[in-house]
C-alpha cells in the first residue's frame, strides 16, 4: 500500500495521509511531536522525551501542557491509528509498514542479504521513499530530532553508496552518474561517493570529467579541512590516469 493513500512520511517533510487525504497537522511543533512518536512507533515515549524533541535549549514552563495539547489534537486528527496514554507517556500504535522510515530500513536490510541485481532493485525502491531532507530539516526543534535527522541522512548516503557499488559491479555506470552526481553536489566532501562517481565517469569514457571532479574535491579538502584525498579517492584517480587519453 503506497503512502499517498494511507501512511506517514518522515523522509522529507513530516506528512500524514489517511484514505488518500492529506491531514492538516497544524503548527511545526505539533509535527515534531508526531515525528517523535513515529520514530518510537509502538513504544512509549515520555513527555520529557517529547519536550526534548520539540524545544531547542531550555523549554518554557508551559512545555508539558503544550505537548499534552498537541497530543490531544493529534489524537483527534489521526484516524485509523491509536495514540494512547501510557504510564510512561504516550504510545502511537500503527503498522510499521505505514511509516516510510521503517519501509526504508526494511528494504535496506533485505538488500544486504540479496545478490547485486535484486539488491540494487531493493535499494532503488528504498531510496524512492525519500522526497527531501529527513524530518524536513527540523530547525528549531530539540537535539533529539536533529540527531535523528542526521542518523537518517547518514543511512541514506550509505544506501546511495551501496547502490552505486552494485550498479558498477553490474556494469551499469550510466545508472550511477545522474543520481550520484546530485548527491555529490550536496555532499562534496564524501570521498567514497566522489570516487564512485569518478569511476562511473571513467567507465562511460568521460575521463576529463572524472579528473576535473578529483581536482575540485582535492582543492576542497585542502581548503576546508587541510587534508589530502584518502586512499579510495586516490585509487580512483590512479585508475582514471592509467586509462590514458
Mean pLDDT, to the nearest integer, of 207-230?
Answer: 94
Number of residues that this document lists for the chain: 245
State the Cα–Cα distance between residues 198 and 216, nearest whole angstrom: 12
State the Cα–Cα distance between residues 28 and 142, nearest whole angstrom: 12
Q: Which of 26-30, 62-66, 120-124, 141-145 has the highest mean pLDDT?
A: 120-124
Instruction: Place 1 in a pLDDT band, splitting at 50, 70 and 90.
Output: very low
Q: Given 97, 128, 151, which residue is the final one in a domain?
A: 97
Contact between residue 58 and residue 100 where contact means Cβ atoms under 8 Å apart: no
* CATH code at position 60: 1.10.10.10
Going through 124-170 in order, the beta strands assigned E by DSSP cover: none
Reference 220, options 233, 236, 204; nearest CA is 233
Q: Given 34, 63, 97, which residue is the final one in a domain?
A: 97
pLDDT of amino acid 138: 67
Q: Is 89 part of a structural domain of the chain?
A: yes
pLDDT of amino acid 86: 84
Model confidence over 176-216: pLDDT tens digits?
999 999 999 999 999 999 999 999 999 999 999 999 999 99
Model confidence over 39-65: pLDDT tens digits?
999 999 999 999 988 888 888 999 999
pLDDT of amino acid 142: 82
Q: DSSP states of 27-71 as a string?
A: SHHHHHHHHHHHHTTTS-B-HHHHHHHH-SSSPPTTHHHHHHHHH
- Report residue 7: phi and psi, to 5°: 155, -175
pLDDT of amino acid 140: 63
Q: Given 82, 97, 112, which residue is the final one in a domain?
A: 97
* CATH code at position 211: 1.25.40.10
Domain region containing 186: 173-245
* pTM value surpassing 0.85: yes
pLDDT of amino acid 242: 84
Residue 151: pLDDT above 70? yes
Residue 150: pLDDT above 80? yes
Contact between residue 134 and residue 152 where contact means Cβ atoms under 8 Å apart: yes
Model confidence over 16-29: pLDDT tens digits?
987 778 888 999 99
State the Cα–Cα distance between residues 209 and 205, nearest whole angstrom: 9
User: Count of domains in the chain?
Assistant: 2
Task: Specify the range with the lowest mean pLDDT, choosing from 78-87, 161-170, 184-193, 233-242.
Answer: 78-87
Q: Is 114 part of a structural domain of the chain?
A: no
Q: Is 215 part of a structural domain of the chain?
A: yes
Amino acid at each position: 500500500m503506497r503512502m499517498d493513500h494511507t501512511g506517514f512520511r518522515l523522509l522529507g517533510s513530516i506528512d500524514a495521509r489517511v484514505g488518500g487525504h492529506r491531514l492538516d497537522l497544524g503548527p511545526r511543533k505539533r509535527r515534531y511531536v508526531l515525528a517523535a512518536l513515529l520514530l518510537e512507533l509502538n513504544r512509549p515515549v515520555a513527555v520529557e522525551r517529547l519536550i526534548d524533541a520539540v524545544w531547542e535549549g531550555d523549554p518554557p514552563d508551559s512545555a508539558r501542557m503544550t505537548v499534552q495539547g498537541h497530543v490531544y489534537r493529534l489524537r483527534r486528527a489521526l484516524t485509523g491509528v491509536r495514540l494512547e496514554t501510557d504510564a510512561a507517556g504516550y504510545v502511537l500504535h500503527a503498522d510499521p509498514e505505514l511509516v516510510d522510515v521503517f519501509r526504508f530500513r526494511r528494504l535496506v536490510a533485505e538488500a544486504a542479504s540479496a545478490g547485486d541485481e535484486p539488491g540494487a532493485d531493493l535499494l532503488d525502491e528504498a531510496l524512492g521513499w525519500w522526497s527531501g531532507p529527513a524530518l524536513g530539516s527540523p530547525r528549531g526543534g530539540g537535539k533529539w530530532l536533529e540527531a535523528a535527522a542526521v542518523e537518517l541522512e547518514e543511512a541514506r548516503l550509505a544506501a546511495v553508496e551501496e547502490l552505486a557499488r552494485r550498479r558498477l559491479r553490474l556494469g551499469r555506470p550510466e545508472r550511477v552518474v545522474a543520481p550520484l552526481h546530485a548527491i555529490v553536489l550536496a555532499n562534496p566532501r564524501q570521498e567514497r561517493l566522489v570516487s564512485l562517481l569518478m569511476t562511473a565517469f571513467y567507465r562511460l569514457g568521460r575521463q576529463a570529467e572524472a579528473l576535473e571532479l578529483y581536482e575540485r574535491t582535492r582543492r576542497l579538502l585542502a581548503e576546508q579541512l587541510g587534508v589530502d584525498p584518502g586512499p579510495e579517492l586516490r585509487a580512483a584517480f590512479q585508475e582514471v590516469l592509467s586509462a590514458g587519453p
